[in-house]
Chains A and B, each alone.
Chain A
Amino acid sequence: MTETNQALEEITGQEYKYGFVTSIEEDRIPKGLNEDIVRLISAKKNEPPFMLEWRLRAYRHWLTMQEPTWQNVRYPKIDYNDIYYYSAPKQKAKPKSLDEVDPEIRETFNKLGISLAEQERLTGVAVDAVFDSVSVGTTFKGKLKEMGIIFCSFSEAVLEHPDLVKKYLGSVVPYSDNYFATLNSAVFSDGSFVYIPKGVRCPMELSTYFRINASETGQFERTLIVADEGSYVSYLEGCTAPMRDENQLHAAVVELVALGDAQIKYSTVQNWYPGDKEGKGGIYNFVTKRGKCAGENSKISWTQVETGSAITWKYPSCILQGDNSVGEFYSVAVTNNYQQADTGTKMIHIGKNTRSTIVSKGISAGHGQNTYRGLVKINKGAEGARNYSQCDSLLMGDKCGAHTFPYIEIKNSSAQMEHEATTSKIGEDQLFYCKQRGISEEDAVNMIVNGFCKQVFKELPMEFAVEAQKLLSVSLEGSVG
């Protein structure tokens, strides 16, 4: 091994920073999964009957399904009866204001750099924080309310805005969609709900922060964002979890609906615990994210920076139904040590003159395996549809892998498709060049990797772009070998 490689390994060998556990009293229901558990979850949340029925339909359907095996990831069989499906921080009563949130929980978010109160005061980013299964506080509510914007926990939305939930829940990801989405539909515990009324431009970034704290717990959150005609919203989700030896399942569902002329920008910085250097522990991140451009001229952009999780399996997708609608997917996925990622997007062109852009940057280091899987489908009626896809892979060292599976289905001959793909190795030549100019190895690696990801980072809101860059350098510490 050359000196360069040794140094690279040192740089990439950094520890997971967010791995602490918070000791608070948890309100848990028994382990395992059956109809009673589903009923219990629903009862805990005082849900109206429509919600319970929906959950039960999903659960019964789930029993008929097989766990998928087509992804390019390996993991031991999951015992679905060995998981707690509901775990909530014990609170005397539902907090009415942020001041009533358990101080231990607030301390946890403080450690993560997300002080709910500070956020509200200083940054102008509205945060909904989900701790294990329930939402513990939504900041900025008052101000948003004045504009008619609804931003609250999913549980609250079910109780306070049942008509909206009924209308849109499952309209993009039906309860029968796929194994993990169906499981989520049966047992989801909380998540965020956003509704932006007609013609309103949401004046701040909306943000959810997810945290898995309890052990042996699955986190099944559900997010639904509806942008009514001519509205705009930018939404950010961030995630961390403590370090634990066992694997924890995270099976979320995100549904986006953009009506005519509406725009939704959804950004994710995912940093779930990836497991240790030997590949022990870490989060299984099996997520279904899909947006529907339901109206004409609507637009949905997914931007994701995926640095965490032992296994990531997600394909944020766009259904381009409205004429002239636009779908975008910008992704950076990092796999280091024994992490595996099978991620990409689906762009389904239905309306006329629909356009989609895919920019995927995969970085593999250590023994990491990084797979891009993308589908671009142009339906018969999608006259004049266009797609641009670019998939670049960067390899650090020679034990990691990058795989690209682009699928294309075209049923309309007027479609225009452009596809570019590259695979490069982080060059010893590039490193030598930087070092010969006096730049340290560590700075050089960061610089080269950030340059590689630039197209994606520039899509993130400013403050999160900075955060993403930092995360990237941390998760690559100790990588080429």
Chain B
Amino acid sequence: MPLLEIKNLHARVEDKEILKGINLTVNAGEVHAIMGPNGSGKSTLANVLAGRDNYEVTSGEVLYEGKNLLDLDVEERARAGIFLAFQYPIEIPGVTNAHFLKTALNAVRKHRGLEELDAMDFLALVKEKMKLLEMDPGFLNRGVNEGFSGGEKKRNEILQMAMLDPKLGLLDETDSGLDIDSLKIVANGVNALRSPDRAFVLVTHYQRLLDYIEPDFVHVLSGGKILTSGDKELAKHLEERGYGWVVGKDAKAVGV
């Protein structure tokens, strides 16, 4: 059984149809990259999968571990193992990273039938993960994303992912705004989480990230549809020729 099966998914935001028939199957252990020009619907797809309000599915279905994902609330999806690394992580002033992360972790653990972690065990675990992402433990006492640089926010997203141990990681433009060193650290963090029971969907505008996290499949999303799919070579072609190549080819195929 695939981990995630998206069948003919249509979705709209505020009366505007944005996803116009997405089909995608993701198996455990795989890494899929979704590329496409700005405004093509990549973030919309990620948000629909995470269950955000105001993103309305108009037709199609999404199965997660064989069950209807669209029936679940946002937090139920999260506890069931769907993690979205945000393109623009939000600040929550006055709430420390440590408190936030511990609350989240224990909510998830409780759902999975695991014991809640006490402060000591939590600290031990989070410090170990922070090392991997070369984050200073001082971050734990700062407000969630409060005054973080762009790169720090993205690292913090990956830290959360490492802590919450999801089955499906959706990474929305995790590479954007990162300098090359931060990009490597983030990519290392993701690679360390790769495992046969876990899958990733990387949403990205540039092929750069894929130099560090090697995808098994690459899909090109444009105008709310996946126009073409291939392996990592496809990403290289895109890098050389630009999206116009795929989008144009498709335009010809449908006779525009």
Q: Which chain A residues have a beta carbon within 8 Å of chain B's beta carbons?
A: 2-4, 427-430, 432-441, 443, 447-448, 450-455
**B92 touching A430 by the CB < 8 A rule?**
yes
**A435 touching B74 by the CB < 8 A rule?**
yes
15 contacts between A and B (CB under 8 A): A436-B50, A436-B74, A436-B86, A437-B78, A437-B100, A438-B78, A439-B75, A439-B100, A439-B103, A447-B99, A451-B92, A451-B93, A451-B95, A454-B94, A455-B94
**A435 touching B94 by the CB < 8 A rule?**
no
**B78 touching A436 by the CB < 8 A rule?**
yes
**B53 touching A439 by the CB < 8 A rule?**
no
B143's nearest neighbour on chain A, judged by CB, is: A451
**B94 touching A451 by the CB < 8 A rule?**
yes
Q: Which of these binds chain A: B104-112, B121-129, B184-192, B223-231?
A: B104-112
Q: How far does the Cβ of B169 sit from chain A's closest Cβ, in whole Å?
A: 12
B106's nearest neighbour on chain A, judged by CB, is: A438
B160 within 8 A of A: yes
Q: How far does the Cβ of B93 sit from chain A's closest Cβ, in whole Å?
A: 6
| Chain A neighbourhood of B108, CB < 8 A | 437-438
Looking at A443, A447, A450, the one whose CB has the most chain B CB atoms below 10 A away is A447
Q: Which chain B residues have a beta carbon within 8 Å of chain A's beta carbons?
A: 50, 52-54, 73-75, 78-79, 83-84, 86, 89-90, 92-95, 99-100, 103-104, 107-108, 111, 143, 160, 164
**B90 touching A430 by the CB < 8 A rule?**
yes
Contacts beyond the supplied A3-B53, A439-B75, A448-B92: 14 A-B pairs with Cβ under 8 Å: A3-B73, A427-B90, A430-B92, A432-B50, A433-B90, A433-B92, A436-B75, A437-B78, A438-B75, A438-B108, A439-B103, A447-B100, A450-B94, A452-B94
Q: When chains A and B are docked, how far (Å) is the Cα of A246 from the Cα of B16? A: 51
Q: When chains A and B are docked, how far (Å) is the Cα of A6 from the Cα of B157? A: 28
Looking at B52, B89, B94, the one whose CB has the most chain A CB atoms below 10 A away is B94
| Chain A neighbourhood of B90, CB < 8 A | 427, 429-430, 433
**B78 touching A435 by the CB < 8 A rule?**
yes
Q: Provided the pairs A432-B53, A433-B86 are in contact, do residues A438 and B164 lie with their beta carbons within 8 angstroms?
A: yes
| Chain B neighbourhood of A451, CB < 8 A | 92-95, 143
Q: How far does the Cβ of A296 sit from chain B's closest Cβ, in whole Å?
A: 35
| Chain A neighbourhood of B95, CB < 8 A | 447-448, 450-451
Q: Provided the pairs A438-B108, A440-B107 are in contact, do residues A453 and B164 lie with their beta carbons within 8 angstroms?
A: no
**B75 touching A440 by the CB < 8 A rule?**
yes
Q: When chains A and B are docked, how far (Å) is the Cα of A453 from the Cα of B164? A: 27
Q: When chains A and B are docked, how far (Å) is the Cα of A451 from the Cα of B95? A: 5
Q: How far does the Cβ of A480 sit from chain B's closest Cβ, in whole Å?
A: 12
B74's nearest neighbour on chain A, judged by CB, is: A435
Q: How far does the Cβ of A481 sit from chain B's closest Cβ, in whole Å?
A: 15
Q: When chains A and B are docked, how far (Å) is the Cα of A414 from the Cα of B86? A: 48
Q: How far does the Cβ of A391 sit from chain B's closest Cβ, in whole Å?
A: 15
Q: When chains A and B are docked, how far (Å) is the Cα of A428 from the Cα of B53? A: 9
Q: How far does the Cβ of A444 sit from chain B's closest Cβ, in whole Å?
A: 8
Q: When chains A and B are docked, how far (Å) is the Cα of A2 from the Cα of B55? A: 11
**B103 touching A432 by the CB < 8 A rule?**
no
Q: Provided the pairs A2-B54, A443-B103, A443-B107 are in contact, do residues A437 and B93 lie with their beta carbons within 8 angstroms?
A: no
**A447 touching B103 by the CB < 8 A rule?**
yes
| Chain B neighbourhood of A452, CB < 8 A | 93-94
Q: When chains A and B are docked, how far (Å) is the Cα of A451 from the Cα of B73? A: 24
Q: How far does the Cβ of B20 sit from chain A's closest Cβ, in whole Å?
A: 24
B160's nearest neighbour on chain A, judged by CB, is: A437
Q: When chains A and B are docked, how far (Å) is the Cα of A454 from the Cα of B79? A: 28
Q: When chains A and B are docked, how far (Å) is the Cα of A452 from the Cα of B146? A: 12
A4's nearest neighbour on chain B, judged by CB, is: B53
| Chain A neighbourhood of B89, CB < 8 A | 433
Contacting residue for A436 out of B84, B111, B143, CB 8 A = B84
Q: When chains A and B are docked, how far (Å) is the Cα of A437 from the Cα of B95? A: 14
Q: When chains A and B are docked, how far (Å) is the Cα of A434 from the Cα of B97? A: 12
Q: Provided the pairs A447-B99, A451-B92, A452-B94 are in contact, do residues A437 and B104 lie with their beta carbons within 8 angstroms?
A: yes
**A432 touching B74 by the CB < 8 A rule?**
yes
B76's nearest neighbour on chain A, judged by CB, is: A438
Question: Nearest 9 A-B pairs (CB), nearest first?
Answer: A451-B94, A451-B95, A437-B104, A454-B94, A438-B78, A435-B74, A438-B108, A438-B107, A435-B75
| Chain B neighbourhood of A454, CB < 8 A | 94
Q: Provided the pairs A428-B53, A443-B103 are in contact, do residues A437 and B164 lie with their beta carbons within 8 angstroms?
A: yes
